[in-house]
Structure formats: C-alpha cells, structure tokens
Chains A and B, each alone.
Chain A
C-alpha cells in the first residue's frame, strides 16, 4: 500500500504500482486481442488507444506510438464512421501532429461525432499548442467544477503554462485530495506535475521540493520513466551521481533514449568515460530512431539532447524551430531562443 506522508500532505492509498503496471500491460494486450477479433466492436479501438497512451505516459513505452498508428490505420480502413476519425485524431494528437488531428476532428464533426468528444480533443490540442488560451482556461475551469482529478490536472497544467504557479499548485493539491479511485496512475501524474512545477517552471526552482514530488510519483508507479529521469537530473545537479545512476539503471529497458542520455551524463561525472560513450551512442541512436518515426512528438526532447550532450547545436536549432512551428507555446519559444543563442555563439567561433 502506498501511503507516503511527505510535505505534510498525506497522499491517497492506491493499488501497488508494480501490480498496476502489470495490469495495464495485461489490459493493453487483451484490448489488442479483442480488436483483432472484431475491430468494429464498439469501444474496442478506444480501449486500445486509452491503454496505449497510458503505457506511453507512465511506463515509458515509446513503441506505443507505433502501435497507435497501426491501430488508426487498421481501424480507418475498416470503419467509415466518426469513431475512426476520432481515433485517428487522438493518435495524431498523441504524436503531436496537431494540424492533422484538427483535420480528423473536422471530418469527425461532419460525420456526426458528438460535440463533447470533438470539444474535448480540440481543447487538449489548443492547450498543447498554446492557442486560444483564454477560451481554453474558461473551459478548463468549467470542467474542473466536477472536482474530478482528470478534470483538475489539465487545469493545473494550463495555469502552470500561464505562469500562475501558486494557483496551479493549489489545483494539483485539490486533485490529490479529490481522488477516490484506486489506480495509482492519476496520482503519479499529479505528483509528477508538481515536481515539474517546482523544479522547472517556477522562476526560482526548488530542486529539493521537486525531488520530493518526483519521489512520490515513483512511489506510486515505480516504473514511471519520466519521473525517474527528472529525479535523476535533480540528484545529478546536486552532485549525487550514485543516486541518479541507481534511478536510471532500472529504466533502461524502457528504451527511452533520455534514460541513456542522462545516464551518460552521470557516468561522465563519475569519470567512467568509456561507459558514458556507450550510453551516449545508444541515446543518439535512440533519438535518431524516434525522430525518424515521430519527428513532431520528440522534436523538443531531441532539441534538448542535441543542444547538450548530443553536441549538434545546428540539429538542435532545427528541431527547436520545428517544435515552435508545430506548437508555439511559451516554453517552446523559450527553448528555441536559448538554443539559437548558443548556436549563434558556435557560428561565431573560428572554423
């Protein structure tokens, strides 16, 4: 039972994260089997989509995007209703192909898809792209009146994007207090968001507080790759390379290249240059593969990698520009400016 009582805020009990991860994988595979038996059965394609997105988010299973594309392709070839268009929109959105997703949604609307389904996805796309934010904020506030965690977290994320950090933190805490289910994934999500808020978004980051929230997220879902990577970064920044390494090693099997990248940095810090080089090569290969398959989904992460240990600032700048063109959020623009600045410095250096 996960009962973590750090920071004076007791966290809700939830199913053990290892059990939940096994059951998510179990449900994911089973959904695919049902899809194979009868792809037209109501709700099956949507169930596959839901499980795959969870696997990508919480288990770092980046193959999920490939599987989702196969799903969308199969489903749309045999289903000509708005259901297929909605699934195609969700899959395109998951891969950050937002223009394509909007096209699918427009098609779904013409085919008679329920308005709520269209609006839900449109809202998520607008928020991800940083467009129509006033309208998005109004809608998010209305939805959050439900008091449900699933409605509160996107509001918190939006407030954080708008740099209203205190409000965002309050909403996240409300989300934790309102939770009345037993799955640990939503709780891990909130804790991770709070970690990012205090560790990366606020003007004066508090790495210690962020680390507490990342630890909570990992406490709920030990296989939460993103949380492990972020906590490892905090440890590494505080000179605790051994702790960072211990966090990253179990996550290597996820094949998320960011794990290899951060591990390479930690090994370099420890003077283990040969091992670090191996990890860095694996990270570079991993990013290249991901960017070849899903350029828009990983453009920002790729830019960050190539601007740092990946050591290819022109590539980083190119990726950052692609990201800004796709989703001109404040964060994306800031990243592009920062990379442009160092790339320009490079350009000034004598050849």
Chain B
C-alpha cells in the first residue's frame, strides 16, 4: 500500500519509513506550491521523528523527451532540496516532551519549527511555511488487489508523521525555464564511520505512490525475489545502468500480470514496455502551469504514453484516489474506473495549511451507571473486590497477587479475555482505578468504578477512557451496561 512498509529494512525504524509524497498547488493561494511527505506507517499518538535522519525532498526540472511508445521524461541534473532535521526531545515548563526541528531551504535559509505546532512556522519574508507533526494518514486503499473487489479502507483511523513545505512558486522556481517538474522524497541516514562495507545512502525514497509495493513487488507474481530494499537504496533520478534491466524486467512482468487481472487484454506488449520505461523513472511529475486536482494524478504520464499532450498538472493532492487511479490504468487502461470501497481517508485533507487532517487520537470515554436501592456503604464492599464476581458477564475470573498491582484475568460469557491491573483503590471515596493491559484493542485504556450515595440508595458508575478505533466503543459499552444492570438483582433498583 502506497509506500508503507515497503521492504524488510523499513521495519527497523518506522520513523525512517516513507509512506507517501505529495505535490500540489496550495488550495489557499494559487501562487504557492505545496510539497509534503509522510513517514511512520501506523504511527501511534506519541510518534515522533528520528533525530538522525535527514528527511529530504528533491525537485528537478523535467522535459518531455518522447511521446507514445517512445514516452520519456528527462530530468535535468540540477535540483533544489528541502531538508527537514529534528532534535532530541526537550521538556517544556510543564515537563511535557517536545521536539523541535529545522527545515533547510534550497537557498540555504533555515526555518526552525516545533513539531505538532498546528500553525507551523513561516520565514521572515513570508515566502515559505513549514509544518511537521502527527496527522491522519491521507492515503486510503479500498480495493482487494487479488480480486479487485471493493473493501473498506485498509488504513482507517491510521496516523502518520507528516512534513509540509509551502512556498511562493515564482520566488522558489524559475517558471520561465519550464513548468514541468519531477520530485522525490527520501530518508537519509547518517553516514556511519564504523561500517566495514560502503554505507547505505538512504533508508527509503518515494516518487510516485506504489512503485515498490504494487509495481515492483506485485503480489500477483509468484516466486519472485523481494527487490524493494534494493530499489530503496538506489539514487533517485539516477538508477545505475547495470541495474536498470533487472528493474525494467520486473516492471514489465508486473504490468503484464496487472493487465490480465480482469481477464482482458488491454495493453499491447509495446505499450507495456512503454509503461515500464516511464515508471522506471520514478519521480512525481507535476506541471505548475496547469491545474492540479484530485483527479489529475498520473494524467501527464498517461496522456504522454497515449501520444497526446497532457492537460493537467498531474501531481498528487492530499485527497487523490491514487490507488484506484493507478490500478485502473494498469488493469484496463482507463476503460472503466475501478472504484474501491474507500473514497477518502478517515478524515479528508483540509483546504487550509497544513492540509493534512488532524490525527485520529481523540480520547474516548464511556460512562455507564446504575442506580441501586441499597446505600453506598452496603454496595461498596462488593464492588471494591477487584475480581468483579458481581458482574454477571464474567464466566471466569483469576486473580494474581493482592492489593495495588494485582492482576485480574477475566473471560466473558462470549469468550473474550481481558487482563487488568489494579492501579489505585480508595475506600473513603469508594472508588478504584485499573488499567487494561490486554484484551481491549485500544491504547491508554483505563477504567474507574465508583460508588456514590444517591438519596437513600446509591449509584455505581463505571467509566472507561481509551484511545482507539471507533468500533471499540460499540463493543465495550454493552459489556459495562449489562454488567452493571446485574447489580439490581442483588441490591434492587431505584426506589
């Protein structure tokens, strides 16, 4: 999926694993261009950037060097580069960890910023803005690649670390020399002095989405070597001549396989070769003299391969359905759009800076309560037993240890298993707190059970807080509610 986890090496340090790259005209100001990249597939709510990685975006001017079966996009040797670097963590006055970074601009200026600052940072001249921080993953995929059947978004509720640079187009790029550009993003590790073999030049790089996971490592090809790590270590804009035939052969085999995914031949062998040649030069093409919109992704390449002038600025917007656009092209040559089951990310991109939606990290709370006829002093001795024997939803309870720190392993009537740890108990306030350490698919999951007087009776409140997927609430809420209701059999309902 896109560039997420595209090879064994990427598992090592997810903060170095690029997931996506974008190039589009600013929705806020048509005179400005936005380049953005994301790293850290499946980032949790506290994810931060590596302090040793150079997160770079490189842009080169490109010309159309051939059309039709000779389609070719030729980049120049000169490039401009935006480079994001991050520091180790610092503590603010409240002791909270914060991370600062700096974006080095092509002209040598350095623009400092604070990670997760929604406003980002602007250059004193006002021509550049940057942002870095946790965001909702803008990529979405709703097609089963084996069957081409629609499925729900496979990255629902996912987050990534995003880096955005927006600049005044005419001040940064001399459009008089041409308006077509190719760009890539890359993650560059420090050059180790300890290595006994040549150092690795980069951990990952990305031009167009899905070069590695779909085009080079087509899951439909059998008995193939995984060459994604090898690809990721090559120099963008300059794949070595000796390796080009190998990558080209893989792309040809892959495209032939994709073409037959619907059982129909849509591509001639010559056209498949053309596609392979074009996609071997892996950079994101965009033309700043033409409109870049949610539908324009790959239009420059496709029109040029079809032997006609391109009409849009190509590029890639935050909301573009890049996976379905690519597969439609590869499988049926745009005969019929392959619409997957997802039409957008968990949250769509925004029309204002930094354009990536806020992350999916909202703390969710479930509160259920039951009123009882018995008073609080009568009810508390039962509730305060961490084992929860009063809960009719529990089929089995095992307690390990005693007092604070005690573990409770429970199995519900429908077979779910939970492990909780007692964090605190207060017999005066008649409450205890615990943390779920396994069984509930959410993070930072805590629970509190409290008994309070109400009239001549009492009320028992069960509160749970967590960060997790939306489905968790639906599964937990009935468990709490039904469990509490079982107390009315023992203590009677409200008078």
Contacts and interface: CB of A to CB of B under 8 A. Distances in A.
A219 to B, nearest CB: 13
B122 interface: no
B194 A176 contact: yes
A182 B189 contact: yes
Nearest to B472: A36
A25 B15 contact: no
Contact of B44 (A10, A14, A26, A285): A26
Contact of B417 (A36, A73, A178, A179): A73
A11 B195 CA distance: 10
Interface string A24-49: 01111111111111100101000100
A12 B13 contact: no
Q: Specify which of A15, A63, A77, A183 lies most central, judged by the most chain B CB atoms within 10 Å of its CB.
A: A15
A69 B42 CA distance: 22
A275 interface: no
A27 to B, nearest CB: 6
Given A27-B42, A30-B43, A289-B401, A36 B190 contact: no
Nearest to A289: B401
B196 interface: yes
B48 A66 contact: no
Contacts of B400: 289, 292-293
Contacts of A1: 51-52, 88, 190
Interface string B406-418: 0101000001011
A27 B41 CA distance: 9
Interface string A147-179: 100000000000000000000000000101111
B43 A293 contact: no
Contacts of A30: 42-44, 158-159, 443
Interface in B45-97: 45-53, 88-89, 97
B13 A15 contact: yes
Interface residues of A, number: 58
Interface in B298-315: none
A200 to B, nearest CB: 26
Interface stretch (B18-26, B247-255, B433-441, B478-486): B433-441
A255 B423 CA distance: 13
A11 B11 CA distance: 21
A39 to B, nearest CB: 9
B196 A33 contact: no
A183 B12 contact: yes
A182 B188 CA distance: 10
A33 B469 contact: yes
Contacts of A10: 193-194
B16 interface: yes
Given A23-B15, A26-B44, A289-B400, A33 B192 contact: no
A22 interface: yes
A70 interface: yes
B442 A18 contact: no
B52 A13 contact: yes
A222 B11 CA distance: 21
Most buried by A among B5, B11, B49, B192: B192
B181 interface: no
Contact of B16 (A67, A177, A182): A182
B14 interface: yes
Residue among B5, B44, B53, B405 with most chain A CB within 10 A: B44
Interface of A: 1, 9-16, 18-20, 22-23, 25-38, 41, 43, 47, 50, 63, 66-67, 69-71, 73-74, 77, 147, 174, 176-183, 186, 255, 285, 288-289, 292-293
Given A178-B195, A293-B400, 20 more contacts: A10-B194, A12-B192, A13-B189, A15-B15, A15-B52, A18-B88, A27-B44, A29-B45, A30-B42, A30-B44, A36-B472, A63-B419, A66-B407, A69-B438, A70-B419, A70-B439, A77-B415, A181-B9, A182-B189, A183-B12
Interface of B: 5, 9, 11-16, 40, 42-53, 88-89, 97, 99, 154, 156-159, 189-190, 192-197, 199-200, 203, 400-401, 405, 407, 409, 415, 417-419, 421, 437-439, 441-444, 467-469, 471-472
